[in-house]
Structures are given as C-alpha cells and as structure tokens.
C-alpha cells in the first residue's frame, strides 16, 4: 500500500506576503475554493494578528471552504494564538501553526536569548494552542541552518507538549538536498514520537538557490509526510516549493510509493487563476505549468513526438489539465463557449456577470483574433477596479519617430471629469505627465514592466508598476491591447491604492 503525503498549501499566506501579490478577501475565497477542488489537505489562510485583512480572510475562508483543514499562522506568543483562535472559529477543521526561530542566528540576533529559553517558549506556545485546538503544528523557523542535535531536542519537546505536525522549514533556502534529507532522517531516528506516528514531519523549503523542490523531495524520501507548497512556487524572495512539481513528481514516479490527494487535472486552471489574480506572470519554461512546458520546438523532438509522444513526453498534458483540444474563442463564440471556459478556469460567475463578461469578451475579440485563457482571466478580473475612485475616461496619444509624443487624457474622479495634456520623450512618458497634471502629488515611478500575455502583435499587454508615494511603495497593474493605455491604467491602479 502507498504512503500518503499531506499537501499543505501556503499560497494564501507565504505566497500572498510577496509585494504586489496581495489579494482582497473575495479573491482569497476564490483561490481557497479552487485549492479545495484541487484536493489540498490544508490551506494556510493567513497570519491573523498581522492585519485586520488577514484576520477577516481567515474567517471568510473558514466559512467558504468545507473539507480542507484551515490553518492560521502565529508566533510563539499567546496574543497571536488568541487572535488565530478567534479567526478560526468557523472552520470545520482547524489548525494552529505556531513556532519560533531555532538557528544560532535567530537565537542570538533575533531573540537575544538562550537555547533552553527557546525550547521553553516553544513548549509554552504549543501547550497554550492545545487548549483551544487539537491540531497544532509547530515550526522551527530556520531549521535548515539549525544544528540537528539541538533541533531534535526542540522537536521532541514540542511533540511531548502536543504538537502533531512538526514543520522543518529551510527558511533561507540554504540547504543542499543531501543535507536536508539527512536532517529529516536524523530527526526521524532521534525524536521520540515520530516513528510511532504520534507526530509527523513537514517540509517548508524556500527556493533561494533553486533547490526547493529537490530539498522537499529529499525530505519526503527520508520520512516527511507533509509538504508545504504554493501554486506556481510563489512566496517570499525566490519563492517556495511548487505544489505542481511535487504532485507530478510523485505521480510520474509511482515507484516511490507515495500518493497525494491532488486531482492533477485541476493544476493548470489553478495555476492560471493564481497567476492572474496575483498579477504574477509564470515564466514560460516553468516546470509543469509554463507556456513551453509541453512545447516541442527542435526538429528532432517534434519528429519523435509525432511518431510517439512517449519519445519526449514524461507526462500527458491532459494529466495536468491542459486541454489541447480547447475550443478557440473568437468573436463568433457564443455565451456557452465562454461559460464553459470560465468553468474550466474555475472562475465563479452569475448570469448577470456572465452577460457583462460576454460583452467585454466580444469587445476584446474584435481587437484580436483569438481570446486566450489568460485574456479571459484578465477580463474576469477587470471588475476588481469597478469600485475605484479614479478611472481612465479616455487617452489619446500622438507619437512616432522624429516627432515629440503628445498625450491628452480624461479622468473620472468620483464622478467628476478632468482633462489634461502634456508632451514627453515617448508615449508613456507623455501620458503619465498628462496624468500628473491632474493628480498633483509627489509620486515617483520605481518599477515598470511590460509583458505580452501570449503572442501576436494584437496581443493584450500586461503592465506592472511600482510607484513611491509618501515613503511607501504601491503596486499597480493594467492590461490592454494598447500598451500605453495599460501603462496608464497600472499607474492609476497604484494611485487608487494610496493611503488616504
């Protein structure tokens, strides 16, 4: 019989911490429901004490989701645990994830304390959390750089105190796979309570050296039975282990004898939904979900695949939910085709919002030949800006080689119309200068990236921007077949987020 690996998804906590990836509660619920249909065992829904937004999201996700366990993060601090307990009150299955740093660096520079005191605080936090919740997970932050003997003492103490899952994070992404595997093996062999199933070990690997998946696999092969992962590998800095990679490694290598509950056919729609809602593009060569993951370009490979797909394909694209026989959506597609695509992509809609989406779809289909999944997700997200105070009414730009670019802009600010024009060294510069003639604030553009969603000169361009205002950075996003308009929309998106 196969062993079971529990999948703990932290897209909505570790992933959502990434600057620019913040979601509102409605979007988080959408992702949580998608994760439920994907089959994850645990959803880490947030860090409730960190902000009212996180607190609320844990409440609402707990109400919206039925069978996965909902987990809330805390530090080893009673107040954190109290707030997490309150946030988890509606969860059908709940978990408190508490912990403390255990490496020399954390003990010495973060806590200015002793090794024994860290163990006391860890044990106290687990015991306190146990008063409210049976399911308590402990994390030893920076376990990757923690001495194994000391780590074993910490883990044994928290298991005795009642922790049923012990998370061994490679917080800084420093470990080599062999080293991380050996750490898990050491703990399995030296901690009372692990071999008899009283508690299990979990991996939580960061990708700073590109080793997150390799380290997670090394952990699993040495006895860890929970993996903490995110969709598309998003997360702090270089990200976390990708859920899709672990799920597909175990599916492709049946000989390992470890299964997950992941419905792998839901991987692709989940990946697109997260990428779209978080405005986080997926690199084309990303394993499993990148645009090129199943594209064979060299002549030799194409020849082989045409003879038999097994020559160069270790997975079937349909196994991860890539529907190669997709009906292409064009201006001639009807409501039913759009409705089907939205369902495949996991986008929720009502009859009314479907009508609105269909109108927006037709407008886009008039501008480009084929409407892709990314376009549809982008359209489905457009009404996120419907409640914004500042909206772009119109934009007209004259530009070209050897002439100065000139832009005229119209804004609607809470129902009132404003117009301005300006010139610049290019169309985007002119348009932003015109915008600044209306919004007279000290704002500085810090980052500006333009990306085509798929291919073709008629494609939708996505623009990500960072604008500094009043000492803070704001992230904005715009998408349009006209990249100057997309740029202005991204700038306006930032302005709409300024703290009043």
Shortest distance in whole angstroms from residue 45 CB to ligand KIV: 14
| Residue 173 near ligand KIV by CB under 6 A | no
| Cα atoms in the Cβ-side hemisphere of radius 13 Å centred on 173 | 17
Token pair recorded at residue 30: 């959408």
| Residue 373 near Zn ion by CB under 5 A | no
Q: Which does 341 bind (CB under 5 to 8 A by kind): ligand KIV, Zn ion, none?
A: none
| Residue 98 near ligand KIV by CB under 6 A | no
Shortest distance in whole angstroms from residue 140 CB to ligand KIV: 8
Instruction: Identify which of residues 228 and 493 has a Cβ nearer to ligand KIV in the complex.
Output: 228
Instruction: Identify which of residues 110 and 446 has a Cβ nearer to ligand KIV in the complex.
Output: 110
Judged by CB under 5 A, which of 5, 11, 14, 233 binds Zn ion? 14
Residues constituting the chain: 500
Q: Which stretch binds ligand KIV (CB under 6 A): 167-175, 248-256, 307-315, 326-334?
A: 167-175
Instruction: Identify which of residues 15 and 381 has a Cβ nearer to ligand KIV in the complex.
Output: 15
Instruction: Identify which of residues 16 and 373 has a Cβ nearer to Zn ion in the complex.
Output: 16
Instruction: Identify which of residues 14 and 137 has a Cβ nearer to Zn ion in the complex.
Output: 14
Instruction: Identify which of residues 14 and 80 has a Cβ nearer to Zn ion in the complex.
Output: 14
Location of structure tokens 């205002």: 469
Q: How many residues bind ligand KIV (CB under 6 A)?
A: 8
Q: Which stretch binds ligand KIV (CB under 6 A): 165-173, 276-284, 372-380, 429-437?
A: 165-173
For residues 459 and 481, the answer to whether their CB atoms sit within 8 Å is: yes
Q: Which does 167 bind (CB under 5 to 8 A by kind): ligand KIV, Zn ion, none?
A: ligand KIV
Instruction: Identify which of residues 169 and 476 has a Cβ nearer to ligand KIV in the complex.
Output: 169
Measured CA to CA, the distance from residue 183 to residue 464 in angstroms comes to 40
| Residue 171 near ligand KIV by CB under 6 A | yes
Q: What are the angstrom distances between the C-alpha of 195 and each of 99, 190, 370, 389, 432?
A: 22, 9, 55, 58, 62
Q: Which does 106 bind (CB under 5 to 8 A by kind): ligand KIV, Zn ion, none?
A: none
Measured CA to CA, the distance from residue 393 to residue 371 in angstroms comes to 24
Q: Which does 139 bind (CB under 5 to 8 A by kind): ligand KIV, Zn ion, none?
A: ligand KIV
x/- mask, ligand KIV, residues 128-157, rule CB under 6 A, reads: -----------x-x----------------
Instruction: Identify which of residues 55 and 139 has a Cβ nearer to ligand KIV in the complex.
Output: 139
Q: Which stretch binds ligand KIV (CB under 6 A): 59-67, 166-174, 358-366, 402-410?
A: 166-174
| Residue 183 near ligand KIV by CB under 6 A | no
| Residue 167 near ligand KIV by CB under 6 A | yes
Shortest distance in whole angstroms from residue 14 CB to Zn ion: 4
State which of positions 185-204 bind ligand KIV (CB under 6 A). 204
Angle in degrees, 0-180, between the axes of helices 115-130 and 78-87, rounded to the nearest 10: 30
Q: Which stretch binds ligand KIV (CB under 6 A): 81-89, 163-171, 192-200, 398-406?
A: 163-171
Instruction: Identify which of residues 23 and 490 has a Cβ nearer to ligand KIV in the complex.
Output: 23
Q: Which does 269 bind (CB under 5 to 8 A by kind): ligand KIV, Zn ion, none?
A: none
Q: Which stretch binds Zn ion (CB under 5 A): 12-20, 68-76, 110-118, 415-423?
A: 12-20
Show the 3-state SS of the chain. CCEECEEEECHHHHHCCCCCCCCCHHHHHHHHHHHHHHCCCEEEEECHHHCHHHHHHHHHHHHHCCCCEEEEECCCCHHHHHHHHHHCCCCCCEEEEEEEECCHHHHHHHCCCCHHHHHHHHHHHHHHHHCCCCCEEEEEECHHHCCHHHHHHHHHHHHHHCCCEEEEEECCCCCCHHHHHHHHHHHHHHCCCCCCCCCEEEEEEECCCCCHHHHHHHHHHCCCCEEEEEHHHCCCCCCECEHHHHHHHHHHCHHHCEECCCCHHHHHHHHHHHHHHCCCCCCCCCCCCCCCCCCCCCHHHHHHHHHCHHHCCCCCHHHHCCCCCCCCECCCCCHHHHHHHHHHCCCCCCHHHHHHHHHHHHHHHHHCCCECHHHHHHHHHHHHHCCCCEEEEEEEEECCCCCCEEEEEEEEECCEEEEEEEEECCHHHHHHHHHHHHCCCCEEEEEEEEEECCCCCCCCEEEEEEEEECCEEEEEEEEECCHHHHHHHHHHHHHHHCCC
| Residue 169 near ligand KIV by CB under 6 A | yes
Shortest distance in whole angstroms from residue 292 CB to ligand KIV: 29
For residues 364 and 262, the answer to whether their CB atoms sit within 8 Å is: no
Q: Which stretch binds Zn ion (CB under 5 A): 8-16, 35-43, 89-97, 215-223?
A: 8-16
- Taking only Cα atoms into account, the Rg of the chain, rounded to an integer number of angstroms, comes to 25
Instruction: Identify which of residues 138 and 475 has a Cβ nearer to ligand KIV in the complex.
Output: 138
Shortest distance in whole angstroms from residue 203 CB to ligand KIV: 11
For residues 395 and 409, the answer to whether their CB atoms sit within 8 Å is: yes
Binding footprint of Zn ion on the chain (CB under 5 A): 14
Binding footprint of ligand KIV on the chain (CB under 6 A): 14, 139, 141, 167, 169, 171, 204, 206
């Amino acid at each position: 019989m196969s062993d079971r690996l529990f999948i703990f998804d932290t897209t909505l906590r570790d992933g959502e911490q990434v600057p620019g990836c913040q979601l509102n509660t409605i979007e988080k619920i959408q992702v949580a429901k998608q994760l439920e249909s994907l089959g994850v065992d645990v959803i880490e829904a947030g860090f409730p004490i960190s902000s009212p937004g996180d607190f609320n999201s844990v409440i609402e996700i707990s109400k919206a989701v039925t069978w996965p366990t909902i987990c809330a993060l805390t530090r080893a601090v009673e107040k954190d645990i109290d707030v997490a307990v309150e946030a988890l009150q509606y969860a059908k299955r709940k978990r408190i994830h508490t912990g403390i740093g255990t490496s020399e660096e954390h003990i010495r520079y973060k806590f200015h304390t002793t090794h024994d005191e860290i163990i006391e605080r860890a044990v106290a936090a687990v015991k306190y959390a146990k008063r409210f919740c049976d399911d308590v997970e402990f994390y030893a932050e920076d376990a990757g750089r923690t001495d194994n003997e000391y780590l074993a003492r910490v883990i044994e103490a928290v298991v005795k105190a009642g922790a049923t899952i012990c998370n061994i994070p490679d917080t800084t992404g420093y470990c080599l796979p062999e080293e991380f595997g050996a750490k898990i093996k050491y703990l399995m062999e030296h901690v009372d309570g692990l071999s008899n199933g009283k508690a299990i070990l979990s991996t939580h690997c960061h990708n700073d050296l590109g080793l997150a998946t390799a380290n997670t696999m090394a952990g699993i092969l040495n006895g860890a039975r929970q993996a903490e992962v995110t969709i598309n590998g998003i997360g702090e800095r270089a990200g976390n282990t990708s859920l899709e990679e672990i799920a597909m490694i175990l599916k492709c290598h049946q000989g390992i004898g470890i299964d997950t509950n992941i419905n792998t056919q839901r991987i692709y729609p989940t990946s697109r939904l997260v990428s779209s809602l978080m405005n986080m593009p997926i690199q084309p060569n990303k394993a499993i979900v990148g645009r090129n993951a199943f594209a064979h370009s060299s002549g030799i490979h194409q020849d082989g695949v045409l003879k038999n797909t097994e020559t160069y394909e270790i997975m079937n694209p349909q196994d991860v939910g890539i529907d190669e026989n997709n009906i292409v959506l064009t201006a001639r597609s009807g409501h039913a085709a759009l409705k089907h695509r939205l369902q495949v992509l996991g986008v929720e809609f009502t009859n009314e919002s479907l009508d609105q989406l269909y109108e927006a779809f037709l407008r886009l289909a008039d501008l480009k030949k084929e409407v892709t999944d990314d376009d549809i997700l982008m359209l489905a997200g457009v009404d996120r800006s419907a409640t914004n105070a500042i909206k772009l009414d119109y934009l007209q730009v004259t530009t070209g080689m050897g002439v100065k670019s000139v832009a005229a802009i119209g804004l609607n600010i809470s129902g009132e119309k404003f117009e301005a024009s300006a010139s610049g060294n290019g169309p985007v510069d002119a348009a932003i200068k015109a915008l600044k003639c209306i919004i007279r604030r000290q704002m500085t553009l810090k980052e500006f990236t333009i990306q085509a969603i798929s291919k073709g000169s008629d494609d939708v361009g996505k623009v990500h921007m960072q604008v500094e205002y009043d000492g803070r950075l704001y992230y904005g996003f715009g998408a349009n077949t006209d990249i100057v308009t997309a740029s202005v929309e991204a700038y306006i998106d930032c302005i709409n987020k300024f703290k009043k």
